[in-house]
Amino acid sequence: MYSKNNRYLIVVIGPTAIGKTALGIEIAKHYNSNIISCDSRQFYREMNIGTAVPSQEELSIIPHHFIQHIGIDTPYSVGDFERDALAKLEDLFQHNPIQVMVGGSGLFVNAIINGLDDFPDIDPNIREDLNKELEEKGLASLQNKLKELDPVHYEKVAIDNPQRVTRALEVCIGTGKPYSSFLNKKANNRNFTPIIIGLEADRELMYQRINKRVDIMIDNGLLKEAEALYPFRKNNALQTVGYRELFTYFDGDCNLDFAIEEIKKNTRRFAKRQMTWFKRTEGAKWFDFTTDPNNIIAEIDKIINQ
């Protein structure tokens, strides 16, 4: 059994379209390790193009876990992921004390590194009232309420995700305290040492990469994929940038060009929120996305061998 001192989880974080998958594969090849995927939308087997799932070629290079392993109608919470991913890591560490995790879902990354935070029980009537408000007044009403009650979490949360916004609001209302005040209170009792590697880019360059990726997704058949998922558009899994905008197009509320521009705009906003979240990650080492992977691996080796 390895001790915490010689078990390492190398965690690659950063905004969408920055190159996390490619770097993660290079690191995993170097250490002959597996990759834990930590992208909460790549969990769903029906969502492929719109979630930028690694290609079959990439998946064949290194064993990946938690890629398209559940269906869109299967409830799968951050708590479920924490339980399953830690169990998988425990198994992987038996064979190799260095493993890799890659992903852009900050809440899920934090759950693996630090554990989930403890929240008090909330009166279920509060959620019922919030769901009613969501249905009658729309998401913007809840977003404005969260901005007022917890401006800190408002800047970090996936603000376009109704479930996340509702969850934060019910805690704010039910406790009289900001949702963010309950975060990061639990001590880290993990039996591994995280090495956190962040990728970043100039904002304008990052936005250009996002716009190009969306165009590639459209060329690769995102419209057809979204059309097949349209009957399930109310599922929480599909409250996702790239699908939601095309559903609006299918509803006849906008034309296709407008929907595509909305995907680009909302993805850029999502990337900005990702960076806001990840930049607060304690101990992360940041590299420009053009950095040679060998140079990053050399820095990781220094940490492991120190």
Q: State the Cα torsion 213-219-225-230 to the nearest 10°.
A: 90
Residue 276 CB coordination number (10 Å) = 13
Residue 240 marked in a binding site: no
Secondary structure of residue 6 in the 3-state scheme: helix
Contact 201, 209 (CB under 8 A): yes
Residue pair 232/74 in contact (Cβ under 8 Å)? The answer is no
Q: Is 263 among the annotated ligand-binding positions?
A: no
- Cβ(34)–Cβ(61) below 8 Å: no
Is 186 annotated as belonging to a binding site?
no
50 assigned ligand-binding residue: no
How many CB atoms lie under 10 A from the CB of residue 5? 9
- Structure tokens of 267? 């993805």
Q: How far apart, in whole angstroms, are the C-alpha atoms of residue 17 and residue 267?
A: 10
20 is in an annotated binding site: yes
Is 103 marked as a binding-site residue? no
Known binding residue 17? Answer is yes
19 marked as binding residue: yes
Q: What are the binding residues for substrate?
A: 16-21
Q: What are the binding residues?
A: 14-21
Q: What are the binding residues for ATP?
A: 14-21
